[in-house]
Structure 1
Amino acid sequence: MWYKNFFSGLVQDAWKAAQTDEQTELECDFLNDVLELQTGQRVLDIFCGHGRHALELARMDYAVTGVDIAPESIRDLQKTAQRQKLPIEAITGDFMTVSLDGGFHGAYCLGNSFSFFPHDQMLVFLRKIADQLVPGGRFVADTALIAESILPDFQERSWMQIDEITFLVENEYDVRESCINAQLTYLRHGETVRRQSRHYVYTIAEMHRLFAQAGLVIVELFGNLDGSDFVLGDDRLFLVAQKKPE
Structure 2
Amino acid sequence: MNIKKLMELSQKPQLFERNKTLFWDDPHISKKMLEAHLNPDWDAASRKMSTIDKSVEWLNEDVFSKKDIKVLDLGCGPGLYASRLAKLSYSITGIDYSQRSINYAQKEATENNLDIKYIYQNYLTIDFEAEFDVIMLIFCDFGALTNEERDILLKKIYKALKPGGIFVFDVFTDRNRDKDVLSRSWEITEDGFWNEKPYLALTETFLYPEDDTLLDQTIVMTEDGETKIYRLFNHFYTKATITNVLDEFGFKDHSYYSDVTGKRYSKKSKTLAVVTRK
Question: Rg: which structure is higher?
Answer: 2
Q: Who is 1:15 aligned against?
A: 37
Whether 1:230 and 2:257 are equivalent positions in the alignment is no
Residues 152 and 33 of structure 1, relative CA distance in 2, 3 Å threshold: farther
Whether 1:90 and 2:118 are equivalent positions in the alignment is yes
Whether 1:170 and 2:170 are equivalent positions in the alignment is no
Distance 2:105 2:261 in 1: 28
Distance 1:4 1:36 in 2: 39
Residues 69 and 181 of structure 1, relative CA distance in 2, 3 Å threshold: same
- Number of residue pairs aligned between Structure 1 and Structure 2: 232
Pick from 155, 162, 165 the counterpart of residue 181 of structure 2.
Answer: 155
Conservation of the 8 A alpha-carbon contact between 1:116 and 1:199: yes
Q: Who is 1:6 aligned against?
A: 23
Residues 20 and 151 of structure 1, relative CA distance in 2, 3 Å threshold: closer
Range that drifts further, 71-80 or 198-207: 198-207
Distance 2:70 2:260 in 1: 22
Conservation of the 8 A alpha-carbon contact between 2:170 and 2:274: yes
Q: Map of 1:82-231 to 2, 5 A cutoff?
A: 82-143=110-171, 145-147=172-174, 149-152=175-178, 155-157=181-183, 170-184=204-218, 195-224=230-259, 227-231=262-266
With normalisation by structure 1, the TM-score equals 0.82
Distance 2:127 2:19 in 1: 21
Residues 72 and 228 of structure 1, relative CA distance in 2, 3 Å threshold: closer
Greater strand content: 1
1:11, distance to aligned residue in structure 2 (A): 3.1
Residues 177 and 237 of structure 1, relative CA distance in 2, 3 Å threshold: closer
Conservation of the 8 A alpha-carbon contact between 1:224 and 1:238: yes
1:13, distance to aligned residue in structure 2 (A): 2.0
RMSD of aligned residue pairs (Cα, Å): 2.9
> Among the aligned pairs, what percent are the same residue?
22
Conservation of the 8 A alpha-carbon contact between 1:171 and 1:182: yes
With normalisation by structure 2, the TM-score equals 0.73
Pick from 48, 68, 72 the counterpart of residue 40 of structure 1.
Answer: 68
Deviations 1:161-186 (A, max 9, x none): xxx97899632112344321102589
Ranges in structure 2 where 5+ consecutive residues have no aligned partner: 1-17, 25-29, 186-190, 195-201, 221-227
Conservation of the 8 A alpha-carbon contact between 2:127 and 2:156: no
Ranges in structure 1 where 5+ consecutive residues have no aligned partner: 187-192
Distance 1:23 1:185 in 2: 31
1:158, distance to aligned residue in structure 2 (A): 8.6
Conservation of the 8 A alpha-carbon contact between 2:129 and 2:159: no
Residues 216 and 179 of structure 1, relative CA distance in 2, 3 Å threshold: same
